[in-house]
Chain A
Amino acid sequence: MRHRSYSGKVLYLTDGKGEMGREMFYVTIQPDSTRTMRAVCEMDDDRLLRDVVITVNKDWQPTDAFVRLTIEEKFYGSSWFRFTDTLAECQGYTVKEGRIDQAFETEARTASFGTHPVHGDAWGLAGFKTRTPGEIAQRRGPVFSSSHQPNGGSGPYLMPTDDSIVRKYVGLEDVTVPAGTFRAAHFQMLFERYPPIDIWATPEDCIPVRLRWDLLKQTYDLVELSGDAR
């Protein structure tokens, strides 16, 4: 066994309310840099439980994924996704849509697949090539999401996404959270209509240390981290 691994936990904290959810993750990285994340996301206010397994290649492009949704303690949907140089496909079953069979021919390998763990947002750091302050991340290839709902509470299915979100690199900063003090890379997701999402992530593995979105008045803090994290 030559892979390395790390695991941890992120809390979803709402201003004035405190802990309103949590995300447990376990990530393995193979010698060829193929990376698989298993995440369990619990959102208390929406009574939403999400299981995600997603694998990306050395360039952080998705190769396959599985998403299962439980909402209000009931099965909502379960789907498997596969991405090649020319295809994005989904095979799934949801209570609302029934059996799903989707296939999109793509001109290039899918650049990103949003499955809604906070951890996936932090992986956006990999899109910066120079990591100089002010750099705007470039994505080459289509972008999909498993749901267009802000909480990921639909589908899961393959939703083509207009990647109009601009990602801007800010710089390296020291951030202290319950899991410790980290020298983290800070970047922002910029929207036309909303305030930005600020994300601090570890430089190599892009582990979320802290996220803050004033729109939702929520902060997401890393509270546990163990294993060979970089």
Chain B
Amino acid sequence: MYEAATAKEGRVHQEFELNERVRELGTHPVHADAWGLAQVNRADPRPQAPALRFSTSIQPDGGSGPLLVPSTGRKLRRYLGEDTISVPAGRFRVAHFQDSFPDKPPAELWVTGEDLVPVRVAWPFRRQTYELIELSGEAR
């Protein structure tokens, strides 16, 4: 269920009847992309289609809505293994994933620990790399 007001759409009420719990809501922070990787079965090296997933926007930069948009299901995720990488925030033991799309180059994601903190994300489609430059607190 979704309630919102946007400048373009006005007051919005959306409801989707579902047979299962939503596994993921894509809200477009890079951090949320990293959290989505919790759904990946790391024991399976094959590309995996995300389970039931919604997004707040289908724009690559999240610049529409925000609305409740059912995922197209065309993204595939793959676990590529463990690695160690250095970024300005330090050196991290990371899990490496790849998101692939039928119409865009794949994105590479490196996340650390049980908290799935994004350490580096590279998305050639936007010609951008996202790097962790600060991390404090009790991150695991």
Interface residue ranges, A against B (CB under 8 Å): 64, 80, 82, 91
> B3 touching A64 by the CB < 8 A rule?
no
**Complex CA–CA separation, A91 to B4 (angstroms):** 9
Interface SS of A by simple majority: strand
Q: What are 5 contact pairs spanning A and B, CB under 8 A? A: A64-B5, A80-B3, A80-B4, A82-B5, A91-B3
Interface flags for B1-37 (1: CB within 8 Å of A; 0: not) read 0011100000000000000000000000000000000
CB distance from A98 to the nearest CB of B (A): 13
Interface residue tally on B, bucketed by range? under 10
Interface flags for B110-133 (1: CB within 8 Å of A; 0: not) read 000000000000000000000000
Write out the residue numbers on chain A whose beta carbons fall within 8 Å of the beta carbon of B3. Answer: 80, 91
* In the complex, number of A-B residue pairs with CB atoms less than 8 Å apart: 5
Write out the residue numbers on chain A whose beta carbons fall within 8 Å of the beta carbon of B4. Answer: 80
Task: List the B residue with the shortest CB-CB distance to A64.
Answer: B5
CB distance from B114 to the nearest CB of A (A): 17
CB distance from B4 to the nearest CB of A (A): 8
CB distance from B13 to the nearest CB of A (A): 9
**Complex CA–CA separation, A82 to B5 (angstroms):** 8
Write out the residue numbers on chain B whose beta carbons fall within 8 Å of the beta carbon of A82. Answer: 5
Write out the residue numbers on chain A whose beta carbons fall within 8 Å of the beta carbon of B5. Answer: 64, 82
Task: List the B residue with the shortest CB-CB distance to A87.
Answer: B11
**Complex CA–CA separation, A64 to B5 (angstroms):** 9
Task: List the B residue with the shortest CB-CB distance to A91.
Answer: B3
**Complex CA–CA separation, A80 to B3 (angstroms):** 8
**Complex CA–CA separation, A80 to B2 (angstroms):** 10
**Complex CA–CA separation, A80 to B4 (angstroms):** 8
Task: List the A residue with the shortest CB-CB distance to B11.
Answer: A82
**Complex CA–CA separation, A82 to B3 (angstroms):** 10
Write out the residue numbers on chain B whose beta carbons fall within 8 Å of the beta carbon of A80. Answer: 3-4
CB distance from B56 to the nearest CB of A (A): 13
**Complex CA–CA separation, A91 to B12 (angstroms):** 12
CB distance from A164 to the nearest CB of B (A): 31
CB distance from A56 to the nearest CB of B (A): 16
**Complex CA–CA separation, A82 to B4 (angstroms):** 9
Task: List the B residue with the shortest CB-CB distance to A63.
Answer: B5
Task: List the B residue with the shortest CB-CB distance to A99.
Answer: B1
Task: List the B residue with the shortest CB-CB distance to A101.
Answer: B3
**Complex CA–CA separation, A65 to B4 (angstroms):** 11
**Complex CA–CA separation, A185 to B67 (angstroms):** 41
**Complex CA–CA separation, A91 to B5 (angstroms):** 12
**Complex CA–CA separation, A35 to B124 (angstroms):** 34
